[in-house]
Amino acid sequence: MKIGIVCYPTFGGSGVVATELGLELSKRGHEIHFITYSQPVRLELLSNNVHYHEVNVPEYPLFLYQPYELALSSKLVDMVKLHHIEILHVHYAIPHAYAAYMAKKMLQEDGIYVPIVTTLHGTDITLVGSHPFYKPAVTFSINKSDAVTSVSQSLKDDTLRLFNIKNDIEVVPNFIDLSKHENNFTDCQRDMMATEDEKIITHISNFREVKQIPDVIKVFYNIQKEMPAKLMMVGEGPEREPAERLCAKLGISDKVIFFGNSNEIDKILCFSDLFLLPSLTESFGLAALEAMASGVPVISSNTGGIPEVNISGVSGYLSAVNDIDSMSKNAIHILSDAKRLATFKRNAKEASKKFGIHQVVPQYEKIYEDTLRKCMVL
Ligand code: GMT
């Protein structure tokens, strides 16, 4: 199949999932066209069946906001015609599903029919999409998609609760290439980060308010009172600076390393003992799954789709949002006993296997095939 993938190219779960999906589909013989405003961060290798088409938005002083949707839908029309793309898979409803629908309508004028698969990722529904300013357009574009998927059952339930949806929504969970996390804990250069007796705690996110960064710091503050420990903070976003200030205020700056964005997540996870994800809301928690695949237990909130990934008492523990005491106690419980920590590490890795790339990507292939077949019949 010739598949067009539209996503956000920056650091963030939806772009990562879209990129990994495209790369795996290309390995399975499909021709993949990424269409977005800059090269997706995990898209390192372009090959003869992986293409990247940049959407450019010319600046014009009349516009307070440059019309990205317009440029994207025009680019989609051009790329579908030029490369004979058969199906468009858009990740994140805003504004991708909307732009894809416009492209589809324009193409129909020329007798070309290209179906749209929309994958809902989380904030496009829970935080941004349900805002009254966007809701009618988001509802419309979900209902006009030829197939809709969501990354967890929880996100599907949220979508049906918050919007008037007439389409079916199929749950296709996020996935991970387990082979990329096949570390044996010997080549991690752990000693560059911490002494042998220090536990390494890690948090990875885009440092938005929803990630509850102060809770990460406070839980770590409680942990380091009980045992020698270091905190690895990976990612960039508006909450980074306040977090650095909070560390200084608590007197723990020398124990916290802020990495910024990193393409070496697997290396950082390789030497981590525990992962913290205390988010306010989280449709899935791809970062938690990546941690688990690297054998890192997860202390998280019990919000949204996280309980579908992190199994309390097995791969880590779940606590109510903002329950810092409970998260700290659970973290200390896991870390304070070497045998227990080893068991949680093994369990976390085992639990991640359910989300292997080879189990999940065929589900998307089937959706493309069914959608193309359905659209041919209509
Ligand atoms: O977590 C973010 O803020 C980024 C956002 C995105 O779209 O990139 O993540 C959402 O999609 C990820 C991939 O499906 C999920 O793993 C995240 O849980 C989800 N984030 C939220 O729901 C807050």
Same domain? For 152 and 239 the reply is: no
3-state helix, strand, coil in the chain (%, to 5): 45, 15, 35
DSSP 324-358: HHHHHHHHHHHHT-HHHHHHHHHHHHHHHGGGBHH
C-alpha to C-alpha distance for 361 and 208, rounded to whole angstroms: 29
Per-residue pLDDT tens over the stretch 47-103: 779 999 999 998 888 888 899 999 999 999 999 999 999 999 999 988 999 999 999
Residues 336 and 256 reside in one and the same domain: yes
How far does the centroid of ligand 1 lie from the alpha carbon of residue 225, in Å?
A: 32
Phi, psi (degrees; rounded to nearest 5) at 51 = -125, 150
Pairing between β-strand 147-150 and β-strand 199-204 as defined by DSSP bridges:
unpaired
134 shares its domain with 11: yes
26 CB within 6 A, ligand 1? no
Q: CB of 282 closer than 6 A to ligand 1?
A: yes
Q: Is 206 in the pocket of ligand 1 (CB under 6 A)?
A: yes
Same domain, 195 and 169: no
The boundaries of the domain holding residue 252 are 178-354
pLDDT of residue 129: 77
Q: Are residues 79 and 134 in the same domain?
A: yes
286 lines ligand 1 (CB under 6 A): yes
Q: 121-138: per-residue pLDDT in tens?
A: 988 888 887 788 999 999
User: Are 188 and 310 part of one and the same domain?
Assistant: yes
pLDDT tens string 219-250: 999 999 999 999 999 999 999 999 999 999 99
**What digits encode the pLDDT tens for the residues 253-299?**
999 999 998 878 888 999 999 999 999 999 999 999 999 999 999 99
Give how many domains the chain has, as a whole number.
Answer: 2
- Secondary element (H or E) of residue 260: strand 256-260
pTM: 0.93
Q: How many angstroms is it from 123 CA to the middle of ligand 1?
A: 6
Pick the atom of ligand 1 nearest to 284's CA: 18
Residue 378 pLDDT level (bands cut at 50, 70, 90): low
For residue 120, the CA-to-ligand 1 centroid distance in Å is: 10
User: Does ligand 1 come within 6 angstroms of the Cβ of 215?
Assistant: no
The predicted-structure confidence for 303-332, as pLDDT tens digits, reads as follows 999 999 999 999 999 999 999 999 999 999
Indicate if 156 and 231 belong to the same structural domain: no
Q: Which residue has the higher pLDDT, 13 or 139?
A: 139
Q: Are 304 and 188 within one domain?
A: yes
226 and 341 inside one domain:
yes
Pocket test for ligand 1, best of 11, 206, 282 (most atoms within 8 A of CB): 282
Does 307 lie in the same domain as 161? no
pLDDT tens, 188-201?
Answer: 778 888 888 999 99
Are 163 and 259 found together in one domain? no
3-state secondary structure of 6: strand
Any idea what the CATH number is for the domain that residue 166 is in? Answer: 3.40.50.2000
Tell me, yes or no, whether 141 and 193 share the same domain: no
| Cβ 152 vs Cβ 283: under 8 Å | yes
